[in-house]
Chains A and B, each alone.
Chain A
Amino acid sequence: MICCFDMPAWLSEWLAGIGDEFILNFVKDDRYMYIVKGLGLTLEVTFFAVLLGIALGIICAIVRSTYDKISVEMRPGFGKAVLSFLNAVTNLYLTVIRGTPVVVQLMIAYFVIFASSKNKVLVAILAFGINSGAYVAEIIRSGIMSIDQGQFEAGRSLGFNYVQTMIYIIIPQAFKNVLPALANEFIVLLKETSVSGYIGLEDMTKGGDIIRSRTYSAFMPLLAVAAIYLVIVMFFSKMVSLLERRLRNSER
């Protein structure tokens, strides 16, 4: 033995068994495919839920900040009534979604609202997207509120209407300010999809768990799953920091 100390018996035994463990959990019966297929589903659900979340989030953030900013000055009338109604709907959405656990929302979506649907992937996308949208809305709203009022006035004084000012001037700056918070939200979302197993969707976590149930060996499949999540999150964080640096060009 080249080592300078005696290896404890349990460790050498464990090391000797590691190859067998690996073959049992991943190679035999092509069990690695549970994780590969699960990873595909996890990424698919996360990707589309992120898109849905951003869309919902931007709409809700605009409704909320518009209401806060201009409803006081608006003349009573149809426009103001519509805005007040939209604001009330948005507030209800934010309160309910942020006040209940995502697992419960997912199960309600699958077993109650879309009980007739067999498409688990679509239901998961909708549930996670709607959930994420509520958090994204508050993140983007804080971004909009952080932009100086003068930017708004400059846009309006050029002749842009409220929505154009938002789109061309406010949102791009707000987005840049909240990018770190948004990235964090998407990391959370990626990991939250690991509860998809509750509706029987075989995402990566469920895949690892299925292997565990077949082999009665928890260590390898679960650590493999954890490692893959970790790598994805690290890769994503790196991409975001590159994007942040690019967007910061204008500040130099």
Chain B
Amino acid sequence: MNDDRLIQVTDLKKYYNNGEIRALDGVTTTIGRGEVVAIIGPSGSGKSTFLRSLNLLERPSAGKILFEGVDITSPKTDINKLRQKMGMVFQHFNLFPHMTVLDNMTLGPRKLLGMSKEDAEAKAMDLLAKVALQDRAGAYPNQLSGGQKQRIAIVRALCMSPDVLLFDEPTSALDPEMVGEVLDVMKQLASEGMTMAVVTHEMGFAREVASRVIFMAEGKIITDGAPDEIFNDPSNDRLRTFLAKVL
């Protein structure tokens, strides 16, 4: 299958307590290659659950997710293999504190992609240079600032040469003065054509960088469109209420 639909989600559901809580209640959408999709919505709307379902960190209760044409929810699929192509960046960075920055970045390529130490380190250093952190290669995560940690987390994911990057509120745990440096890296990636799905509270980022904005509430996609439509002319009541609160 060689089309530009990278991820196709069909009627995705995630229930807790036997359906009492419906975190995802029938989500259907498609993410194309090169798209930057911002997912916004009030807390508890299911946007993080949706994102985490895409690489099966959450196992959906029902529905189908195709990644590059392969059904990842099927028991026959080797999810570990597919996750190598889906980078993930977390709110709390989740760098490995017992390893240096360089080891954090080369662990995956060396153990999973079979790269030699030299090749993996060369690639890691290139990526570190891209986020202007090459001088911190030997540092441990706890010696870094929050913004630096998140930039390292992004390049750690990039070391695996993923086809898509999933961001789960990447700037929510940062001090305000560090948000910019992380968003700049994400902007740069977007301009290079990286496919990205970003759960975010940064409306500025969603408006400027995203090619598409999905607004979720109560486990459903309420509206889905270009940033201009979403922000300039919110037709939906719930979207309008939400934007009035966050903008």
Contact = CB atoms under 8 A, between A and B. Distances in A.
Contact of A252 (B55, B82, B108, B142): B142
B83 A158 contact: yes
Contact of B57 (A75, A153, A169): A153
Contact of B94 (A153, A161, A164, A250): A153
A170 to B, nearest CB: 10
Interface string A182-196: 000000000000000
Interface residues of A, number: 23
A173 B97 CA distance: 8
Contacts, number: 70
A150 B156 CA distance: 15
A175 to B, nearest CB: 9
Contacts of A172: 98
Interface residues of B, number: 31
B111 A168 contact: yes
A160 B98 contact: no
A20 interface: no
A154 interface: yes
A73 B111 CA distance: 26
A251 B55 contact: no
A159 interface: yes
Interface of B: 55, 57, 59, 75, 80-84, 86-88, 90, 92, 94-99, 107-108, 111-112, 140-143, 156-157, 160
22 contacts: A148-B92, A150-B90, A154-B94, A154-B96, A156-B83, A157-B55, A157-B83, A157-B88, A158-B108, A158-B112, A158-B156, A158-B157, A159-B112, A160-B108, A160-B111, A161-B80, A168-B111, A173-B98, A249-B140, A250-B97, A250-B99, A250-B142
